[in-house]
Amino acid sequence: MSNLQCPYCKSKNIIKKGFKKGAYGEKQRYKCKECNRHFINTPSEEYPLFFDKKTPEKVNWRDWLDNLIEHKDLHQKTSVSQDEATIELPVKKNIIVFSGDWHLGSLSVSYQEFQKNIEMILNTPDVYMVTVGDLINDFKSFYSLQPVLSQIASPKEQLVILKSICQEFVNSKKWLASCWGNHDNEFDEKIFGQSPVKELLGEHFVFFNGKGRLNIIIGDQKYIIELSHSYRGHSIYNPTHGQNRQLKWYSPDADIIVGGHYHTPAIQWFYAYGQRKCLIQVGSFQQDDGYSKRWFEPGVIGVPAAVLCANRHEISVYPSLEEFLEK
């Protein structure tokens, strides 16, 4: 080390003093016995020196999987959504109304008819409700500004209204289940990745974030209801074509398959797989919507009512609760 000298005091009385880890590996460290200072003999071409640059630690993929499995378990525990649910009702003749596409907050909604329908459900014994999405209009942004400005309540106010409705149904125990909608779920998911409506409904009722299977138990009878906001395969010539496709490809054991989204109610009966099947398309309280009148047709109010028997496996469906009560 006769050619080494201390960069501080120029002394050649130098000894080795371990190694220093750096960005380029370990470097020999020296100590000057005259001034007691440490230094590294580094050629000028190796500067700059990084003495405390962090070097990432290599983590085995198995450790990553352990973390992912734990996080997935936590996610599933805290999620309000489910794929299947079973509900037992009293042993009597029960009526389930299928509603949806309320679009609360829109200028185009028939609010008097909506209130009349909700009051009838709340005040009629043995009547329960299942909804299929789009309960609020929820236009926060769109490719056209027209639907945003055609709201007479802001999305925040729409959620407040829905919370109040939910509370009355929580008290009456009449709202059984709900599912996703493109307005009240997907719109917010596109903007900020989650849906306040999903969290609200899932807190109080059974909630399906996609297609859901609802098993209704009445005495010895079990009725299977498949519901979703919409199904693939919609046809302008057959309003229940999407439900029919769902029945034949995915849900052959379902008694009722119900959807919404298209604002035109429809009911279809037929026998398949040795059983009576019912396909239901709910209507909408949004009747005077400009977008629908331009490209489709005005919405039609339709809240079909299914009567489920307790002493035999039999379903009767009426276009509305009023028609059933007036028969």
Distance CA 265, CA 267 (A): 7
What is the crossing angle of helices 155-172 and 196-204, to 10°? 10
Has residue 42 got a pLDDT over 90? Answer: no
Helix, strand or coil for residue 156? helix
- Amino acid at position 4, single letter: L
pLDDT band, residue 2 (cuts 50/70/90):
low
For CATH 3.60.21.50, the residue range(s) in the chain are 85-326
Residues 6+ apart with CB under 8 A from 77: none
Residues 6+ apart with CB under 8 A from 95: 124, 126, 127, 128, 305, 306, 307, 308, 321, 324
Please state whether beta strands 25-32 and 38-40 pair in parallel, antiparallel, or not at all (unpaired): antiparallel
Distance CA 105, CA 161 (A): 9
Q: What is the pLDDT of residues 3-15, one digit of tens each?
A: 788 888 888 888 8
Q: What angle do CA 234, 155, 112 make, to 5 degrees?
A: 75
Span 299-319, average pLDDT? 95
pLDDT band, residue 298 (cuts 50/70/90):
confident
pLDDT of residue 10: 85
CATH class of the domain whose range is 85-326: alpha beta
Number of neighbours of residue 6 by Cβ within 10 angstroms = 20
Has residue 229 got a pLDDT over 70? Answer: yes
Summary mean pLDDT of the chain:
91
Q: What is the pLDDT of residues 147-167, one digit of tens each?
A: 888 899 999 999 999 999 999
